[in-house]
Amino acid sequence: MTALHLIPALTGGAMRRLARSIVLFCVIPALTGGPMRRLARCIVLFCVIPALTGGAMLAAQEASPYVPLQHWAMPYVEHLITTGVVADPTPLTRPLKRSDLARALQAADTTRLSRAARATVRRLLAEFTPRHPAPSYRIEGATGAAAATYAFRDPLELERGSPARQDDNRAFASAGLEFQLRFGSLVAVTHPTVDTRTQYDPDWYASNDNATRFEEAYLSAQWRSGEAFFGILDRNWGPSSVQGLLLSGNPYSMDHLALSVGTPRVQIQAMVTQLDTRDSAGAAVNRYMNQHRLWIRPQGRWTLAVWEGSVWSGVGRQIETWYVNVATVGFFRQSSSGVNVNNFLGFDAERRANTTVFAQFMLDDIQVSRKTPEDLKPTSYAFTVGAKGRVPRASLGWQLFYTQVANLTYRNENNLQVPLYHLLGTGRNFADYDQATLKLSVLPHPSLLLEPELTLLRQGEGDPRLLHPLVPDYPSTATLFQGVVERTLRVALGGSWQLGGFQLSGNGGVHLIHNAGHLSGTSDTRWVGSLGVTYRISYENVLP
């Protein structure tokens, strides 16, 4: 039986007609060769494969936009999850979908909550509960002003990196307009913004119109058993309390293709992206990264994930199917394909309880043998361990974590096969450091969230943007803490307050720095802070 007969036989009904259309649309262009063949492959992957899973996968289901990591509501959501008020819809995975979050908020038991917490839950429900069924649209406009002693996103970037980030007292203005369209199982989002802060942010790579970017811009097809996604959306794989080790919201506006297949408890997830192209000896060097993850949430308290990542580069190299294949492991395909790739392996774990514990571990490179000079390369790895919960008989949440990233993590003998997107780490933006952070969160008043923080950061002189050391330098290369270690003690208070359409936000504290600038015996004290106000207005309605 040919594929033309098999696909309709498996689907039936409306799916039979869809399958016929897909086959005609894919097979005929494939016969023409060239670019049409590549287009046909994409259509087969994203149309035929879902069709083969049966009609239930394409049953009527409304797709949902995502809640961005930087959305004003996410600090409140994380506080409610930490204190056990709201169940985490997708542990070890961010961002959340608006529909999943609305269901979790509706299921929350608010009878024992404080007045402030109950009012905050109602405010979030009003934000994330759709007012109209699909097809519908939503428009949100925002404008704001801020002042800060720094232009980068995270105050802990101060004095770190290569070159080191410096403080810069400035005032900023921003404006954005977000469009959301829902068509049953399809959703489209675009969110252009103008933010004068990015002009001074050393992490922002635009050189011409360097105040404008797309915070989100994507198309997502969502079914009962999977999702196909293409566009810009910040993601974080790993514990939500800290940036993921290989995939986080750190890179600005990274376009990527993502696929997930499975059930609410078991999913195969994948993403692939083209990193920025760099020139080497006058030739354009193409660079790509893909990641695969098996995410499991069995009955009970545990959520587990095992994952891998691959980065490859070369003059004329393209997306190579033996690495993108989600049913294989890139580490083993490297030897069979006969070409070079930089592999990463890792796992995530979380156990939910009154005190929730979590962990993430990543292995970049390890030398088992010690027979040759090349075998003296230091091990490169990274890990995070932590816990979070609620203070008994109080609405006070707490989070405590420790994370460590080795000196050569993210670097590679091939200096282009590194997980950097325009010199921004796709996971962490720094290496050769460890960090211990304790953060509290409390709602003393409706929609007023206060977050005291205490952090101890130790930063060596290693950095992901530095060249990989040569073999003769291996004996003098530290596994962790290269050179003089800079120590920073941060004592700070963050807060956010929603007042109708207005949001007041701020974060301020003191950095007590020892060995400042990696100079032994040099001490420094820095006052670091930001204060901003944003006004938002939104409108929703059905599509004609």
Residues 225-245 have a mean pLDDT of 97
Q: Of the candidates 322, 319, 343, 347, which has an alpha carbon nearest to the alpha carbon of residue 331? A: 343
% of the chain beyond a pLDDT of 70: 88
Q: What is the reported pLDDT for 54?
A: 38
What are the b/e assignments for 345-354, b being 16+ CB within 10 Å?
Answer: bbbbbbbbee
Whether 496 and 503 have beta carbons less than 8 Å apart is answered as: yes
Q: How far is the first Cα of the chain from the last one, in angstroms, to the nearest whole number?
A: 44
43 pLDDT higher than 70: no
2 pLDDT higher than 70: no
308 pLDDT higher than 60: yes
Q: What is the reported pLDDT for 496?
A: 97
Q: What is the reported pLDDT for 338?
A: 62
Q: What is the reported pLDDT for 220?
A: 98
For Cα atoms 352, 354, 360, give the angle at the middle one, nearest 5 degrees. Answer: 40
Mean residue pLDDT across the chain: 89
For residues 403 and 40, which has the higher predicted lDDT (pLDDT)? 403
Whether 540 and 131 have beta carbons less than 8 Å apart is answered as: yes
Q: What is the reported pLDDT for 335?
A: 67
Q: What is the reported pLDDT for 336?
A: 65
Residues 290-301 have a mean pLDDT of 96
What does the alpha-carbon distance between residue 10 and residue 27 come to, in Å, rounded to a whole number? 18
Q: What is the reported pLDDT for 279?
A: 84
What does the alpha-carbon distance between residue 66 and residue 229 come to, in Å, rounded to a whole number? 11
**Domain 60-542 sits in CATH 3.40.50.300:** no
465-510, pLDDT tens digit by residue?
999 999 999 999 999 999 999 999 999 999 999 999 999 999 999 9
Cis upstream peptide for 135 (omega within 30°): yes
Token pair 């921004």: residue? 424
% of the chain beyond a pLDDT of 90: 79
For residues 398 and 331, which has the higher predicted lDDT (pLDDT)? 398
Q: What is the reported pLDDT for 369?
A: 80
62-87, pLDDT tens digit by residue?
899 999 999 999 999 999 999 999 99
115-134, pLDDT tens digit by residue?
999 999 999 999 999 999 99
Confidence of residue 322 (pLDDT cuts 50, 70, 90): confident
Confidence of residue 395 (pLDDT cuts 50, 70, 90): confident
Confidence of residue 57 (pLDDT cuts 50, 70, 90): very low
For residues 2 and 360, which has the higher predicted lDDT (pLDDT)? 360
What does the alpha-carbon distance between residue 466 and residue 161 come to, in Å, rounded to a whole number? 10
For the chain, the structural domain boundaries read: 1-59, 60-542
- Interstrand relation of 380-390 and 266-280 (parallel, antiparallel or unpaired): unpaired
Confidence of residue 188 (pLDDT cuts 50, 70, 90): very high
Sign, CA dihedral 423-424-426-430, equals: positive
33 pLDDT higher than 60: no
What does the alpha-carbon distance between residue 73 and residue 338 come to, in Å, rounded to a whole number? 48
Q: What is the reported pLDDT for 337?
A: 62
For residues 277 and 40, which has the higher predicted lDDT (pLDDT)? 277
Q: Of the candidates 310, 227, 323, 321, which has an alpha carbon nearest to the alpha carbon of residue 275? A: 310
When mean pLDDT is compared across 48-52, 318-322, 400-404, the lowest value belongs to: 48-52
Q: What is the reported pLDDT for 51?
A: 39
For residues 154 and 278, which has the higher predicted lDDT (pLDDT)? 154
- Interstrand relation of 502-514 and 486-499 (parallel, antiparallel or unpaired): antiparallel
Residues 6+ apart with CB under 8 A from 464: 409, 410, 411, 418, 420, 425, 428, 429, 430, 431
Whether 410 and 250 have beta carbons less than 8 Å apart is answered as: no
Confidence of residue 286 (pLDDT cuts 50, 70, 90): very high
The two structure tokens encoding residue 219: 């198309």
For residues 433 and 1, which has the higher predicted lDDT (pLDDT)? 433
| CB-based contacts of 273-276 (< 8 A; 24+ apart in sequence) | 273/421, 273/426, 274/319, 275/311, 275/313, 275/419, 275/420, 275/421, 275/426, 276/205, 276/420, 276/421, 276/422
Q: What is the reported pLDDT for 370?
A: 80
Whether 109 and 517 have beta carbons less than 8 Å apart is answered as: no
Residues 422-435 have a mean pLDDT of 97
Residues 343-353 have a mean pLDDT of 97
59 pLDDT higher than 80: no
What does the alpha-carbon distance between residue 164 and residue 279 come to, in Å, rounded to a whole number? 24
Q: What is the reported pLDDT for 21?
A: 40
Confidence of residue 61 (pLDDT cuts 50, 70, 90): low
242 pLDDT higher than 70: yes
Q: What are phi and psi of 11, to 5 degrees?
A: -100, -60
For residues 208 and 261, which has the higher predicted lDDT (pLDDT)? 261
52 pLDDT higher than 50: no
- Interstrand relation of 448-459 and 255-262 (parallel, antiparallel or unpaired): unpaired
Q: What is the reported pLDDT for 62?
A: 83
265 pLDDT higher than 50: yes
